[in-house]
């Protein structure tokens, strides 16, 4: 039975706190795609297809033809940043896309001026931007709500999502002020510095029923207070941290090793990158937030407590090194110590010459389109089916996260099938071999 989903009529606003490398790559890309210059490679919503029915039915529509998503032509971008560069200038500085490509969408990009940010330097010491709002936390939140509403009106938008592409904040854990919505709102009033800037954006969005996506490993909406708010206003949330690069690789490879019951003794991951994100992460407090986000994935996939012989003693180490020569061309090198039959040792080395923002931009796009879909489908709170895109997926309280990218993919696909009233797929397929059970079927 098909779910009732409101159609994707009118325009969708994507409002982005943090108009840096990822955001500008996303925006320039969507403009280039809309102009027919480039293709939205890496965006599963735009390029991917989904199998429906039995293998032999040959029904493999593109996802965007299967579920009612906003059209790329109907997207309007806006955002906030602590630097006042417009999106064209910021994109040029980010040095992700070639000047030639950016030039061809210059007009569109120059129009997008960041609104002043809600910022607190304690949460990102390596940043020195001054394009910021002033006021108590409550006042900042109210200004952000006004920003959102003005943006919606001025652009004649039907719907909005807020997509955090801002820097990684320093590491902090949930405390009392984050435990209930009431306490949180009290904290806003008291300008409680335990409320991080990202939470102000999230609060503003959710309060208005606008979905919030957390592309960084920041705590933000992974707190009881804001989950409560999300349910109150029937609004979807998704997070944390876009899954790209090394972690993407890890959640591809680790399930493969686990599938074969190959043991793992150590996993060493190092990264070199030279963009602003790398510079912010050069501060140990900000790195810690990222490290926690990255470290979790293996444990969930390998389940050491269930498989002590195979995964009970993994030494997992992650390093991020700021290395300017590479700019946004993040490179990772992994050494994985595995063991097989009778404990014999083997090694896998993976060298990924990736481009950070090139991988992140389509993920950001898909999350924006899917949370908008979720809102229209009446889904609210944590959207676990989107964990496919996330390094450190938020789940229902008490439920362990699923990090295996293939299980995440099935979850995503079966959710779409479910929403559209199609059969879920189990890959059983014994029916192609009916004679297989010939003897037994006779006796049934």
Q: Is the dihedral of CA 183, 185, 187, 189 positive or negative?
A: negative
Asked whether position 216 contacts ligand NAD by CB under 6 A, the answer is: yes
With CB under 6 A as the contact rule, the residue among 8, 13, 14, 20 that binds ligand NAD is 20
Return the axis-axis angle of helices 224-232 and 197-207, rounded to nearest 10°: 20
Q: Which of 245, 196, 237 lies closest to 219, judged by CA?
A: 196
Which residues, numbered 310-339, are part of the site for its own copies (CB under 8 A)?
310, 315, 317, 319, 321, 323-326, 331, 333, 335, 337, 339
In whole angstroms, what is the distance from residue 63 CA to residue 301 CA?
A: 27
- 81 as an active site residue: the answer is no
- 250 as an active site residue: the answer is no
- 391 as an active site residue: the answer is yes
With CB under 6 A as the contact rule, the residue among 48, 129, 224, 304 that binds ligand NAD is 129
> Which DSSP state fits 433?
G
**Closest distance of CB 197 from ligand NAD, Å:** 4
Write the CB contacts of 238 (distance below 8 Å, at least 6 apart in sequence): 211, 212, 213, 214, 367, 370, 371, 382, 383, 386, 389, 390, 394
**Closest distance of CB 279 from ligand NAD, Å:** 7
- Spot the catalytic one: 241, 356, 366, 404: 241
Asked whether position 147 contacts ligand NAD by CB under 6 A, the answer is: no
Asked whether position 277 contacts ligand NAD by CB under 6 A, the answer is: yes
- 313 as an active site residue: the answer is no
**Closest distance of CB 417 from its own copies, Å:** 9
Q: Contact region for its own copies (CB under 8 A) — 157-165, 168-176, 212-220, 348-356?
A: 348-356
CB 75, CB 43: distance < 8 Å: no
With CB under 8 A as the contact rule, the residue among 358, 367, 369, 390 that binds its own copies is 358
3-class secondary structure, 351 = strand
Cis omega before residue 241 (within 30°)? no
CB 353, CB 249: distance < 8 Å: no
Total number of residues shown for the chain? 444
- Strands 263-273 and 315-322 turn out to be parallel
CA dihedral 435, 436, 439, 444 (to 10 degrees): -90
With CB under 6 A as the contact rule, the residue among 359, 401, 412, 416 that binds ligand NAD is 359
- Spot the catalytic one: 243, 290, 294, 375: 290
Q: Contact region for its own copies (CB under 8 A) — 72-80, 124-132, 214-222, 264-272?
A: 264-272
Q: Which does 396 bind (CB under 5 to 8 A by kind): Na ion, ligand NAD, its own copies, none?
A: its own copies
3-class secondary structure, 317 = strand
Output the residue with the shortest Cβ distance to ligand NAD.
Answer: 20
In whole angstroms, what is the distance from residue 78 CA to residue 101 CA?
A: 20
As given in the structure block, the two tokens for residue 359 are 């991988």
Q: Which of 221, 256, 266 lies closest to 240, judged by CA?
A: 221
Asked whether position 165 contacts ligand NAD by CB under 6 A, the answer is: yes
Q: Which does 253 bind (CB under 5 to 8 A by kind): its own copies, ligand NAD, Na ion, none?
A: its own copies
In whole angstroms, what is the distance from residue 196 CA to residue 219 CA?
A: 9
- Spot the catalytic one: 294, 356, 391, 404: 391
Which of residues 120 and 285 has its CB atom nearest to its own copies in the complex? 285
Q: Which does 91 bind (CB under 5 to 8 A by kind): its own copies, ligand NAD, Na ion, none?
A: none
Q: Contact region for ligand NAD (CB under 6 A) — 151-159, 241-249, 254-262, 366-374?
A: 241-249
In whole angstroms, what is the distance from residue 304 CA to residue 371 CA?
A: 33
Q: Contact region for ligand NAD (CB under 6 A) — 1-9, 21-29, 58-66, 183-191?
A: 21-29
Q: Contact region for ligand NAD (CB under 6 A) — 65-73, 252-260, 274-282, 414-422?
A: 274-282
**Closest distance of CB 29 from ligand NAD, Å:** 13
Across 397-411, b (16+ Cβ under 10 Å) vs e yields eeeebbbbbeebebb
Q: Which does 351 bind (CB under 5 to 8 A by kind): its own copies, ligand NAD, Na ion, none?
A: its own copies
CA dihedral 204, 121, 320, 296 (to 10 degrees): -40
Which residues, numbered 363-422, are part of the site for ligand NAD (CB under 6 A)?
none
In whole angstroms, what is the distance from residue 118 CA to residue 133 CA?
A: 6
Q: Contact region for ligand NAD (CB under 6 A) — 2-10, 64-72, 269-277, 302-310?
A: 269-277
In whole angstroms, what is the distance from residue 339 CA to residue 350 CA?
A: 17
Asked whether position 140 contacts ligand NAD by CB under 6 A, the answer is: no
- Spot the catalytic one: 152, 243, 250, 330: 330
With CB under 8 A as the contact rule, the residue among 361, 373, 386, 390 that binds its own copies is 361
Asked whether position 270 contacts Na ion by CB under 5 A, the answer is: yes
């Amino acid at each position: 039975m098909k779910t009732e989903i409101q159609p994707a009529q009118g325009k969708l606003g994507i409002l982005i706190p943090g108009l840096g490398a990822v955001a500008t790559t996303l925006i320039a890309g969507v403009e280039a795609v809309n102009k027919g210059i480039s293709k939205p490679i890496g965006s599963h919503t735009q390029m991917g297809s989904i199998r429906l029915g039995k293998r032999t039915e040959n029904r493999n529509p593109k996802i965007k033809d299967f579920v009612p998503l906003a059209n790329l032509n109907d997207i309007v971008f806006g955002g906030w940043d602590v630097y006042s560069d417009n999106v064209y200038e910021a994109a040029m500085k980010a040095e992700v896309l070639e000047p030639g490509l950016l030039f061809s969408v210059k007009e569109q990009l120059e129009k997008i001026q960041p609104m002043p940010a809600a910022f607190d330097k304690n949460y990102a010491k390596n940043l020195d931007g001054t394009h910021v709002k002033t006021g108590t936390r409550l006042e900042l939140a109210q200004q952000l709500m006004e920003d959102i509403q003005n943006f919606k009106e001025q652009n004649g938008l039907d719907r909005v999502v807020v997509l955090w592409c801002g820097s990684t904040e320093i590491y902090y854990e949930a405390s009392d002020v984050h435990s209930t919505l009431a306490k949180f709102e009290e904290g806003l009033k008291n300008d409680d510095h335990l409320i991080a800037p990202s939470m102000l954006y999230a609060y503003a969005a959710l309060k208005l029923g606008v979905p919030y996506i957390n592309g960084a490993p920041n705590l933000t909406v992974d707190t009881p207070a804001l989950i409560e708010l999300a349910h109150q206003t029937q609004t979807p949330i998704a997070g944390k941290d876009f899954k790209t690069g090394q972690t993407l690789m890890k959640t591809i490879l680790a399930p493969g090793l686990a599938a074969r019951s190959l043991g793992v003794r150590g996993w060493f991951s190092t990264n070199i990158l030279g963009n602003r994100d790398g510079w912010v992460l050069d501060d140990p407090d900000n790195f810690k937030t990222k490290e926690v986000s990255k470290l979790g994935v293996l444990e969930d996939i390998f389940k050491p407590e269930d498989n002590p012989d195979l995964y009970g003693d993994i030494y997992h180490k992650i390093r991020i090194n700021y290395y300017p020569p590479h700019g946004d061309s993040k490179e990772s090198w992994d050494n994985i110590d595995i063991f097989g039959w009778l404990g014999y040792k083997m090694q896998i080395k993976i060298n990924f010459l990736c481009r950070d923002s090139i991988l992140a931009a389509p993920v950001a796009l898909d999350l924006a389109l899917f949370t908008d879909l979720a809102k229209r489908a009446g889904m609210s709170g944590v959207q676990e089916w989107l964990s496919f895109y996330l390094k450190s997926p938020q789940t229902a309280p008490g439920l362990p996260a699923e990090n295996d990218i293939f299980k995440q993919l099935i979850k995503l696909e079966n959710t779409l099938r479910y929403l559209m009233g199609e059969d879920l797929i189990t890959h059983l397929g014994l029916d192609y071999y009916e004679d297989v059970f010939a003897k037994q079927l006779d006796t049934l």
